[in-house]
Amino acid sequence: MRKLHFLGLLIALSSVVACAKDPIPPIPPVETANGVFPSEGFTGRKLRVEVSGDNTNWSQNEGGGPTVAFGDGITVDSVDVASPTLLFANITIAGTAAVSARDVTVTFGMSVLTLKAAFNTLSPVDFIANGALAQGAITTFTIKNKDLENLFDTTSTGDGFFTPLVFTNIAVTGPAGTYLLVSNVSPFQIDGTLYVDVDAQPGPISIASGPMAQTVTSVPASPLAVAARTATAVTPGSTTTGQITNPFDSNLYELTAASFPTLASISVTAVASAPKVAILPASGHFADLISARATNRTVVKSGKLYAIVFDISGDGGYMYSLKDVNTNLTAFADTEPTNNTSAGATAVTSPALIDNASIPAQTDQDWFKITVPVGKKIHVTTFPGDPRTDTFVTLYGPNNATTTFGPNGGSSSDANYHEDLVSPAATVAGTYYVEISASQDIYYDPAHNTYLATIVLE
């Protein structure tokens, strides 16, 4: 029996020795994704991206092939497998895709490989607004191109001197209530003026470059940051002092006349600087812009006006004076067809508003007469009505409607659609005549024929 126990112990020890000599199975190689090239791409563009791996066994046929993901806003259009360790992803980056670092994930069968923050989305443009950007503002902007494979299209018409320079293959669009007027384009930069309505809100900007079939769209990384602000009320007939603190800043005012109709004369002045004031109607929209210069005159029949004091010359750090003068008007009708000749001229008294007038044909004439004392000037201004009604003004007298009164044949310049004519001071008291007719140049269009006019003795 002892011999049997001893034999069993020898057999057991032999088994242990034999097991200790068996080979250790190899550890399987670890699959990893190890590289992405290029590692960045512009939003709004298509791109072919190389993804490489270690110890992978990617193939196009097994299990339908690998898939690749780059996160929100990036669509993978196709994946091409070049080798078990190399593939190419053809991607489309949305123009609205967030600018950020992205994880790149390759999925193949049961294997999911992720490279953290391996791909970056970039904006192809930088948008720079000069000055404080707020509701009711005028400033300038610059757009810089960072995408050297898609240069800005500089195609233009006009010469910038006798005809406006228009860049036909560039469109810059902002959120509702903003207008971005392009003034210059180079392959690397767009410059222009930015107009912001009184009720505009923040929102994205889009830049389209190129002819219609080949347009490339770029979106800046950040939306247009329009700050809310409340207009400062101005008392009618008063002078308000303000400051352009920094270059390209602007200030917003609200003006409401004490009675209507009124002729509002709004001007801005400064020592050694040249600010301007833009006048908007109650809508507060630049689409309805009345005028924008140092001195503005407009007829107001109801409601309020907005005044935006601005300086886009780059000057700043100065004080200015904003003056609002309101002249109460008496309304007179355009008595068609009676006043189509001087014999039927409508008699008016100063300050007069000619309301709801029209010149429906290029041969039409509207005549008015006014008694003028010695030393007084006759100031006649025409207004919309229709912004494209092309008027012409001629003065006659004293005491006849055949002798022109004043230089240039007593006539307005006819330089714009609407006229602003001031006569010399009268040296003879009497009746003077005002003829408002259609411009005889090529810009008159009978489809645009309504106007307002003021006749004021000064």
Instruction: Read off the CATH number of the domain in which 109 is found.
Output: 2.60.40.10
Average pLDDT over residues 274-300: 96
Query: Do 300 and 370 share a structural domain?
Result: no
Average pLDDT over residues 357-367: 95
Domain-embedded: residue 310: yes
Say if residue 19's pLDDT is above 80. Answer: no
Domain-embedded: residue 384: yes
Sequence-ordered list of residues with C-beta below 8 angstroms from that of 34, at least 6 positions apart, any chain: 52, 53, 54, 115
The number of angstroms, rounded, from the C-alpha of 22 to the middle of its chain's C-alpha atoms is 79
Domain boundary, last residue among 107, 122, 137? 122
Sequence-ordered list of residues with C-beta below 8 angstroms from that of 425, at least 6 positions apart, any chain: 374, 375, 376, 377
Residue 21, pLDDT score: 58
pLDDT, tens digit (0-9, with 9 covering 90-100), for 26-36: 777 899 999 99
Say if residue 4's pLDDT is above 60. Answer: no
Domain boundary, last residue among 218, 240, 264? 218
Return the CATH number at 175: 2.60.40
Of 176, 211, 205, 210, nearest to 192 by C-alpha is 205
Q: Give dist(CA 150, CA 208) in Å, integer.
A: 11
The number of angstroms, rounded, from the C-alpha of 333 to the middle of its chain's C-alpha atoms is 40
Residue 186, pLDDT score: 98
Q: Give dist(CA 361, CA 336) in Å, integer.
A: 12
pLDDT, tens digit (0-9, with 9 covering 90-100), for 366-421: 999 999 999 999 999 999 999 999 999 999 999 999 999 999 999 999 988 999 99
Domain-embedded: residue 11: no
Query: Do 242 and 201 share a structural domain?
Result: no
On average, the pLDDT of the chain sits at: 93
Domain-embedded: residue 153: yes
Q: Give dist(CA 453, CA 359) in Å, integer.
A: 12
Average pLDDT over residues 302-308: 96
Query: Do 350 and 290 share a structural domain?
Result: no
Range of the domain at 247: 232-328
Residue 132, pLDDT score: 87
Say if residue 6's pLDDT is above 80. Answer: no
Cβ count within 10 A of residue 355: 18
Of 107, 113, 100, nearest to 31 by C-alpha is 113
Say if residue 159's pLDDT is above 80. Answer: yes
Of 232, 318, 223, nearest to 272 by C-alpha is 318
Query: Do 267 and 366 share a structural domain?
Result: no
Q: 16 to each of 6, 10, 13, 26, how far by Cα in Å?
A: 16, 10, 5, 22
Of 59, 102, 55, 111, nearest to 81 by C-alpha is 59
Tally of domains within the chain:
4
385: left (phi over 0), alpha (psi -120 to 50) or beta: left
Say if residue 14's pLDDT is above 80. Answer: no
Domain-embedded: residue 226: no
Inter-residue contact 116 to 70 (CB < 8 Å): no
The residue length of the chain stands at: 458
Band (pLDDT 50/70/90 cuts) for residue 163 is: confident
Mode of pairing for the β-strands spanning 111-122 and 40-42: parallel
Residue 189, pLDDT score: 98
The maximal CA–CA distance of the chain, rounded, in angstroms, is 159
Cβ count within 10 A of residue 328: 13
Inter-residue contact 392 to 412 (CB < 8 Å): yes
Question: Which residues partner with 88 through β-bridges?
Answer: 50, 80
Inter-residue contact 436 to 381 (CB < 8 Å): no
Residue 388, pLDDT score: 93
Average pLDDT over residues 79-107: 96
Query: Do 253 and 323 share a structural domain?
Result: yes
Band (pLDDT 50/70/90 cuts) for residue 63 is: low
pLDDT, tens digit (0-9, with 9 covering 90-100), for 316-326: 999 999 999 99
Query: Do 377 and 259 share a structural domain?
Result: no
Return the CATH number at 401: 2.60.120.380
Q: Give dist(CA 450, CA 113) in Å, integer.
A: 72
Query: Do 324 and 271 share a structural domain?
Result: yes
Q: Give dist(CA 104, CA 36) in Å, integer.
A: 8
Residue 134, pLDDT score: 97
Question: Which residues partner with 143 through β-bridges?
Answer: 127, 190
Domain boundary, last residue among 280, 299, 328? 328
pLDDT, tens digit (0-9, with 9 covering 90-100), for 187-245: 999 999 999 999 999 999 999 999 988 999 999 999 999 999 999 999 888 899 999 99
Domain-embedded: residue 188: yes
Q: Give dist(CA 168, CA 185) in Å, integer.
A: 11
Q: Give dist(CA 156, CA 164) in Å, integer.
A: 10
Inter-residue contact 230 to 219 (CB < 8 Å): no
Query: Do 78 and 175 share a structural domain?
Result: no
Residue 62, pLDDT score: 61
Of 222, 130, 213, 216, nearest to 174 by C-alpha is 222
pTM of the entire predicted model = 0.86
Query: Do 290 and 212 share a structural domain?
Result: no
Average pLDDT over residues 39-44: 98
Q: What tokens appear for 82 in the block?
A: 């070049």
Domain-embedded: residue 257: yes
Query: Do 172 and 137 share a structural domain?
Result: yes
340: left (phi over 0), alpha (psi -120 to 50) or beta: alpha
Q: Give dist(CA 408, CA 416) in Å, integer.
A: 16
Band (pLDDT 50/70/90 cuts) for residue 22 is: low
Say if residue 315's pLDDT is above 90. Answer: yes
Of 55, 91, 59, nearest to 73 by C-alpha is 91
Domain-embedded: residue 38: yes
- The H or E element containing residue 172 is strand 170-173
Query: Do 198 and 149 share a structural domain?
Result: yes
Query: Do 117 and 36 share a structural domain?
Result: yes
pLDDT, tens digit (0-9, with 9 covering 90-100), for 97-130: 999 999 999 999 899 999 999 999 999 999 999 9
Q: What tokens appear for 255 in the block?
A: 């003006």
- Bond before 351 cis per omega within 30 degrees: yes
Sign of the C-alpha dihedral computed for residues 439, 444, 449 and 451 taken in this order: negative
Say if residue 1's pLDDT is above 80. Answer: no
